[in-house]
Structure 1
Amino acid sequence: MHTTRTMAVTLLLLGSVIAPANAQQPGVERTDLIQQDIEAPGREVVQARVDIAPGAVSIKHNHPGEEVAYVLQGVLEYRLEGRKPVTLKAGESLFIPAGLAHVAANVGSVKASELATYVVRKGEPLLAPVK
């Protein structure tokens, strides 16, 4: 019993140290759908569904490769560094170049969702926070 309790406490403490690195903004939830090597050496494709609550905004971040964002539902505003904001509704898409810092914000009154497809360098974190 003591070993089980010690193990549980250790796992909880470890989780609290690891979790912040992978934590997402409140109201933003990413569900990874597929991760697959592609023929381009050192690259892989990752596809994810990102759900964003009304009024929620992602952290400013970039990716180690390109992203294609396709809005499934709702209205999302994308702010790409050095560019004017772009507002997309369901059925519209946006190309985000590799390494370009950006944020996504739900500017509508209902949950918004995007299908994000990334072609990225294999073995690197999918998302890197940017100050």
Structure 2
Amino acid sequence: MAAALLIVGSGLALHAANAQQAGIQRTDLLQHDLGTAGREAVQVRVDFEQEAVSIKHSHPGEEIAYVLEGSLEYQLEGRAPVILHAGEALFIPAGVAHVAKNVGNGKASELATYVVEKGTPLVVPVK
């Protein structure tokens, strides 16, 4: 019973992260337990239409953002904005509020890899 609840809870956490925003499409790619108890790896493809901007948010673990195409500006709380182009990556520490914006002339996409606590929402909105 406990194992079933953990599986359902993990699925709900990933599902909650998929709530779509205008101009942003998230596609689940992978969700897998890690060797460390209570931790999992999650990979998501995030597609941004031209000029789309994410909500300000954080994650209950680390994120590695790898730009697949286009140009994305990342604004991490307390840091200067950084623009990444296809083939570039950024490490975002756990709990750091941030925003991602498509600043290119067309569609932009990233591969987001998260190492997070199981059973917690993947995306935590920040006001």
TM-score clears 0.5: yes
| Cα separation, 1, equivalents of 2:28 and 2:18 | 13
Matched, 1:24 2:17: no
Matched, 1:92 2:88: yes
How many equivalent residue pairs?
113
Amino acid at match of 2:27: T
1:56-95 correspondence to structure 2 within 5 Å? 56-95=52-91
Which segments of 5 or more consecutive residues in structure 2 lack a partner in the other structure?
Answer: 1-15
**Percent same amino acid at aligned positions?**
71
Larger RCO: Structure 1 or Structure 2 (Cα < 8 Å, ≥ 6 residues apart)?
Answer: 2
How much does 1:21 deviate?
8.6
How much does 1:90 deviate?
0.2
How much does 1:40 deviate?
1.1
Partner of residue 38, structure 2: 42
Structure showing greater radius of gyration is 1
How much does 1:24 deviate?
2.5
| Cα separation, 1, equivalents of 2:34 and 2:27 | 21
**CA deviation digits over 1:60-84, x for unaligned, max 9?**
0000000000000000000000000
State the Cα RMSD in Å.
1.7
Please state whether the residue corresponding to 2:46 is helix, strand or coil. Answer: strand
